Amino acid sequence: MASTSQKSTSLPGRTALHGKAMTMHPNPNSGKPGLVFCELAHLGKLNMRADKSAGKMVKSITGCMFPPAANTFTSAGERHAVWLGPDEFMIICEAGKDEELASSIQASFGNRHAAVTNITDALAAFHLKGAAVRQVLAKGCALDLHHSSFTSGDAAQTLLSHAAVTIMALADDEFIVICRTSFASYLHDWLLDAALEYGVKFNK
């Protein structure tokens, strides 16, 4: 399954979780912590308004197929195209590549009725991994997150403990959660608290 690199980037500028220190609460039942999470600093995010007719163009520039159905995403390496609405989706790309990608998409529009907006710094992204990741998310989310129902390649915009988020399942035990930058600190604190009973580690 596609992955998104956890390596922190050396791009300039503070990120949403700039001031948060590495945190570790051991698993009370011994063994590995049930949740290990980190911020995907500067992860590129583009909002795109276009319908299916833009599919070929999106594929040729980003490598990602147009999301085939509601509540899904497609991947090509570290890039993803996430369904957000009937004529709206989000392109996720490597840190630092967002501006270049946005301008090449913009250039290929021609007369197409479409728009691309760089929302990299408006949103913050978390990478979550661990055996208890679904249980932790389920504490604040009304969606059915059972692995038979929310499988890898599924995405949803929903509320996570009252904060508006986009949840993407990369694998059975691996998720990306994207929220507004101003909610990042709150979600970080909430995740640490919600995962306490499983053991949790926050990596810088």
Partner 1 sequence: MMLIDCPFCGPRDETEFSCGGEAHIARPLAENKISEAEFADYLFMRDNPKGLFLERWRHSAGCRRWFNMARDTVSHEIVEIYPMGALPKTAAAKSAYSASWRRDTAAEHAAKPARTTVKNAGKARGAK
Return the number of the residue (80 or 129) whose C-beta is nearest partner 1: 80
Return the number of the residue (15 or 72) whose C-beta is nearest partner 1: 72
Cα–Cα distance list, 93 to 21, 39, 82, 98, 100 (Å): 26, 15, 11, 6, 10
Question: With CB under 8 A as the contact rule, which of the stretches 47-55, 73-81, 127-135, 157-165 interacts with partner 1?
Answer: 157-165
Supply the minimum distance, in Å, between the C-beta of residue 46 and partner 1.
17
Return the number of the residue (8 or 117) whose C-beta is nearest partner 1: 117
DSSP letter for each residue of 59-121: HHHHSPPPP-STTBEEEETTEEEEEEETTEEEEEE-TT-HHHHHHHHHHT-TT-S-EEEE-TT
- Determine which residue in the list 157, 161, 181, 185 makes contact with partner 1, applying CB under 8 A: 157
- For position 12 contacting partner 1 by CB under 8 A, the verdict is no
- For position 115 contacting partner 1 by CB under 8 A, the verdict is no
